[in-house]
Structure 1
Amino acid sequence: MEVKDLKIIGSEEWCVFNEFGIPAIKARVDSGAKTSSIQANNIKLIHKGIEEWVRFEVNPIQDNRSIIITCETKLHDKRVVKSSSGISEQRFVIKTPVTLGDFTYDIELTLANRDAMEFRMLLGREALLDRYMVNPSTTYLETNFTTEQIAEKYAPFIKEKSGLKIALLASNPELYSNKRIVEAGIARGHEMVFLNVEQAYMKLDATEPEIRYRGGNIIDEFDAIIPRIRPSMTFYACALIRQFDSMGAFCLNTAEAITQSRDKLLATQLFAKHDIHIPITGFAKSPLDTKDLIKMVNGAPLIIKLLESTQGKGVVLAETNKAAESVINAFKSVQTNILVQEFIKEANGQDIRCFVVNGKVVASMQRQAAKGEFRANIHQGGSASKIKITAEERKLAIKAAKILNLPVAGVDIIRSNKGPLLLEVNSSPGLEGIENATGLDIANIMIEAIEKRLKFKR
């Protein structure tokens, strides 16, 4: 085909998939990518006779997972694809008609979790070949939908609020996890309200207890509360949670459970008491006992962590006994409580995060430490990928969450020569890493857990 016969498109275009009932999805045109891809969640392989089909969910509007379109089509292929983070994984490939402007033709699409990407769809060079030339300085040359047109197209997919009234008690409404939970609740027909911990206050009274918010507004009609509490707000937020509980609202994690999980020393003692295997851990007050404390956890290298540490902050690796003594004594000199823990060298900078909801591990990911780091942490440049855990690891995660009475928990496990060891349990686990790594809709599972507890039927 000659160049003059090719149509010109911009670096971004609107695509339509009539076969799936997707009226408009914005795509990044990328000639550097061979195959096109589309955002997909809850991907399931199904069989129809001798044919393999795939069922998946698409959230076609960026930053809005309350709109869900369920798609089903014949599986075209399975391919190993390397992601932008360098991790290879098998992806399903489908073949389906796409419409750009007035032109409809078949393209191949890989099903991928694109929540972390700017666009829900990528249009690769195979879809452009012998059809288009790309002008990267322009956009939407085929079709340019207005905001009003998009709202009209997706109006039938927006569900009426006919369910529960649920409050998300947190600090930052823009945080990925908080946005996802609100979206998931709206998608299931519930009224979702974001409550900032710092803007709520309470009246303690035997006959008329109250919680008020911003300027004196009384808030007392919530069916359920989802607490997502940052460590610095634990004490005050737990007081609010107890108040909500006394006023009849169901709290997904109780104040007592959150308080236990945030006290790392108490949690570690509870795990040891209930025969959960943990790295050997030491705790002492006097600097005079430092040498024996180090010896007690099998010497350096060892981990020193603040009792209040979160997301890998306040955690130090001491590679020699002398370095360990210096760090421990420095912390003790400023009256800071620390734990000293054996270093599991064979873990090679990897750990496993299990997401537990109502006594079941609903998702698991393996985290790999960034180069030069000793601890896996995606907040500090580490990477994450989906992993299949063992029956022993699953049992350990469920038991750990149960001991702390946490219906929702992020349980961190490390693999050692002695078998799986429990590192810690998080009562406000983040969703971004595990949803991106697994492609699962964890926020939806959390809302379902509330519905089940309150015996709500849609």
Structure 2
Amino acid sequence: MLDKVIVGSEEWCAFPNLGIPAIKARVDSGAKTSALHAINIHPFIKDGDNWVRFDINPIQNNTKTVIHCEAPLVDKRIVKSSSGYREKRYVIKANIQVGDSNWEVEVTLTNRDSMGFRMLLGREAMSGRILVDPEQKYLLGQPTTEKLKEYYNKNEEPKKGLRIGLLASNPELYSNRRIMEAGEMRGHEMHFLNLKYCYMKLDAETPEIHYRGGRVLNDFDAVIPRIRPSMTFYGCALTRHFEALKVYCLNSAAAISQSRDKLYSLQLLLNSGVDIPTTGFANSPLDTNDLIKMVGGSPLIVKLLEGTQGKGVVLAETKKAAESVINAFKSLNANILVQEFIKEANGKDIRCFVIDGKVVAAIQREALPGEFRANIHLGGTASIIKATAEEKKIAIKATKAMGLKVAGVDIIRSSKGPLLLEVNSSPGLEGIEGATNKDIAGEMIRAIEKNFKI
């Protein structure tokens, strides 16, 4: 017992192996797991082992001081916070120094911006080594302001490149990880901004965007919106607010919104001279028969206007089946599009990736044997292909019609020539980078740099 360190409810500690000379911790024997504040968390392989790379702002309410850390990855586990929120976290092992004692502990990584302490020391890390006097604080001393400046000023690097935010929902998604890596490789300060953690202050004089815990996000040079369909409304509202703050957005809120409106986007494309499969739209179920004739009869495709890519899409192989599907949707007051089925495409489409008015890569996607494919990509295999001049022209024209800087344009080859299926404002990178071996994420970063003449 005499060998144990006596600490208060709050203490300063250090993580020498992570390059963190001082960080204030909440000592909480009621918490099983220790937690360390971390942002920009990315797993990677080092010498054949799993590691994780992350950044930390070690001083509360100070986002300018950043420590870049790497540590062996031990596990990923679900942790329940004190507020009852369940979160999957990366777990690392690191040496912690408390007073004159030093030992290895397991620590979970999580964003603690909303908490009062950058570090939580739980009972697993304290077991057999620490006794807590909850009435006391800083029994082991605390660094002066001058000492903290001495510790951390040397870690503050002069600003290089741009401060870029990736506005998305899942930091582990391949596309998001690649964009973060590409930006960092080109010397930019990258921040993953979970759009669910962002909130806005609408004010004529001092409009702001805040992040969980109250951090103000008004100091970004550029933002890359990658908004999942279910978050379109809120994601576009945030993007508009960044635009109001004069932050450059790679795709504008207006462009994203109109690309997500299936009917409006098709009308814009036609007005720009882009051919699409013959498509019908009606409000009344009394017009079903003529609607079917309008698109050339069965087989035909029925698409929910509010459906996301690959969902809410039905192939009706006969006239009777088409009538049943259309009337069923109408009975639910659902808005639908009816579209001709391009049989000669034989389950294949072309994805052209357009960045800043140029087709940077193209792939052909083919459905797996026996898989239903309704003029829309549902999965299968991808292979590199040389898009024709006409297909490239359509892809560029379609992207321009939507007002997008970055888009995945899906084209189907028909007996009438190439027809445009869809313009995706948040196209995935995994399939096209894997098939072409091109650095698409890097091209996206270069498109931002061109705007700043870097």
TM range (shorter): 0.5 to 0.7
Shift of 1:275: 1.7
What residue is the counterpart of 1:219 in the other structure?
217
Shift of 1:296: 0.3
Contact (CA 8 Å) 1:351, 1:376: kept in 2 or not? no
Contact (CA 8 Å) 1:359, 1:407: kept in 2 or not? yes
What residue is the counterpart of 1:190 in the other structure?
188
Deviations 1:147-188 (A, max 9, x none): xxxxxxxxxxxx996110000000111111001000000000
Shift of 1:227: 0.2
Question: Does 2:427 align with 1:429?
Answer: yes
Which runs of 4 or more aligned residues in structure 1 lie more than 6 Å from their structure 2 counterparts after TM superposition? 61-64, 376-379
Q: For 1:262-411, what aligned pairs fall within 5 Å after superposition?
A: 262-375=260-373, 380-411=378-409
Bigger Rg, which one:
2
Contact (CA 8 Å) 1:261, 1:404: kept in 2 or not? yes
| Count of aligned residue pairs for this structure pair | 307
What residue is the counterpart of 1:255 in the other structure?
253
Q: CA RMSD in A?
A: 2.2
% identity of equivalent residues: 69
Shift of 1:228: 0.2
Contact (CA 8 Å) 1:378, 1:433: kept in 2 or not? no
Shift of 1:248: 1.2
Deviations 1:395-416 (A, max 9, x none): 0000000001100000000000
Structure 2: give runs of 5+ residues left out of the alignment: 1-44, 54-156
Distance in structure 2 (CA, Å) of the matches to 1:377 and 1:170: 27
Aligned partner letter, 1:432: E
Identify the range of structure 1 (320-329 vs 306-315) with the bigger mean alpha-carbon deviation. Answer: 306-315
**1:381–1:240 distance in 2 versus 1, CA, 3 Å:** closer
Structure 1: give runs of 5+ residues left out of the alignment: 1-23, 29-60, 65-158
Q: Give the structure-2-normalised TM-score.
A: 0.65
**1:267–1:62 distance in 2 versus 1, CA, 3 Å:** farther
Contact (CA 8 Å) 2:341, 2:374: kept in 1 or not? no
Distance in structure 1 (CA, Å) of the matches to 2:338 and 2:375: 19
Distance in structure 2 (CA, Å) of the matches to 1:63 and 1:283: 50
Contact (CA 8 Å) 1:411, 1:424: kept in 2 or not? yes
SS in 1 for 2:427: coil
Question: Does 2:239 align with 1:237?
Answer: no
**1:286–1:195 distance in 2 versus 1, CA, 3 Å:** same
**1:363–1:326 distance in 2 versus 1, CA, 3 Å:** same
Shift of 1:27: 7.4
Distance in structure 2 (CA, Å) of the matches to 1:218 and 1:377: 44
Contact (CA 8 Å) 2:298, 2:322: kept in 1 or not? yes
Distance in structure 1 (CA, Å) of the matches to 2:374 and 2:437: 20
Contact (CA 8 Å) 2:175, 2:428: kept in 1 or not? yes
Deviations 1:28-77 (A, max 9, x none): 9xxxxxxxxxxxxxxxxxxxxxxxxxxxxxxxx9999xxxxxxxxxxxxx
SS in 1 for 2:359: strand
Shift of 1:307: 1.3
SS in 1 for 2:354: strand
Q: Give the structure-1-normalised TM-score.
A: 0.64
**1:196–1:380 distance in 2 versus 1, CA, 3 Å:** same
**1:214–1:369 distance in 2 versus 1, CA, 3 Å:** same
SS in 1 for 2:308: coil
Shift of 1:26: 5.5
Distance in structure 1 (CA, Å) of the matches to 2:312 and 2:335: 11
Distance in structure 1 (CA, Å) of the matches to 2:325 and 2:451: 46
What residue is the counterpart of 1:11 in the other structure?
none
**1:363–1:207 distance in 2 versus 1, CA, 3 Å:** same
What residue is the counterpart of 2:160 in the other structure?
162
What residue is the counterpart of 2:175 in the other structure?
177
What residue is the counterpart of 2:24 in the other structure?
none
What residue is the counterpart of 2:103 in the other structure?
none
Contact (CA 8 Å) 2:350, 2:365: kept in 1 or not? yes
SS in 2 for 1:169: strand
Aligned partner letter, 2:338: V
Contact (CA 8 Å) 1:311, 1:377: kept in 2 or not? no
Deviations 1:88-111 (A, max 9, x none): xxxxxxxxxxxxxxxxxxxxxxxx
